[in-house]
Amino acid sequence: MTLRMAQAGATVAFLTGEMTPERVMERALALEGRARVDDLRKGALDEMTRAGVGAAALRLRDRSPRVESLGTLDTLRERIRELNVQVVVVDALQSLAGGDTSQDEALATAVRTLKSIALDLDVTVLVTAHLPKWERARQDSRPTLEDFGALGAVKQQADVVLAIYREEMYSPGYGVEGATELLVRKNRNGTTGYVDLYFYKQWLRFEDMLDPDS
């Protein structure tokens, strides 16, 4: 999503608390060049894949998001102000849940702070999050708003909540390999529903199931 927004002409910053900026850009190059990350890292690319990665590198050079380490919640407002971008992607919410409070309280504080930053600085904030309240034993494995925990702060504060569901992860041998549902669990200004995607795990790439070349 970060790459697509940058390619569409938006100014985007990707703040990572999950990987180093170098690893993020490595994955971006693999995704865009349709190459395996391990092959890219080892330099073990065939001629066709090498050409695809080279073309991807040119595209990323012209329209690439700004990738930096996430840092702490206390410094985030001023950092985003200095970045002066239209969109900030925070990866991930749990990386901001420091301090001496409980995990749920820390996550709720992070959510409220991010919403305040978005409103005060007039910037779109997209946040990735794990699902600390998800339970494998239940009948329907699709993520719900309650699975985000954070004392309900995600459900209350977010304008849009998206969730990803791949049946093969929870019921191996059932469904179509790679088939993915992008679930719109909340949409303050529109409808909810889902979009069918296909996940190419070798490239870490999602594509529209009905229009794979988009």
- Per-residue confidence at 140, pLDDT binned at 50, 70, 90? very high
pLDDT at 212: 64
pLDDT above 60: residue 214: no
Distance of CA 112 to the CA centre of its chain: 19
pLDDT at 176: 82
pLDDT above 70: residue 41: yes
87-91 and 160-165: which strand pairing? unpaired
Q: Mean pLDDT over all residues of the chain?
A: 93
pLDDT above 70: residue 210: yes
pLDDT above 70: residue 162: yes
- Do residues 19 and 30 make contact, with C-beta atoms less than 8 angstroms apart? no
pLDDT above 70: residue 213: no
Q: Tell me the per-residue pLDDT of 67-97, one tens digit each, with 9 for 90 and over.
A: 999 999 999 999 999 999 999 999 999 999 8
Q: What residues does 125 pair with on adjacent strands?
A: 88
Level-2 CATH architecture, domain 2-158: 3-Layer(aba) Sandwich (3.40)
pLDDT at 171: 81
pLDDT at 62: 86
Q: Where are the domains positioned within the chain?
A: 2-158
State what percent of residues in the chain have pLDDT above 70: 98
Q: Whole-angstrom Cα distance, residue 50 to residue 55?
A: 9
Residue with tokens 């985030």: 76
* Selection from 126, 90, 101 nearest residue 18 by Cα: 90
Which residues lie closer than 8 Å to 136 by C-beta, 6 or more apart? 170
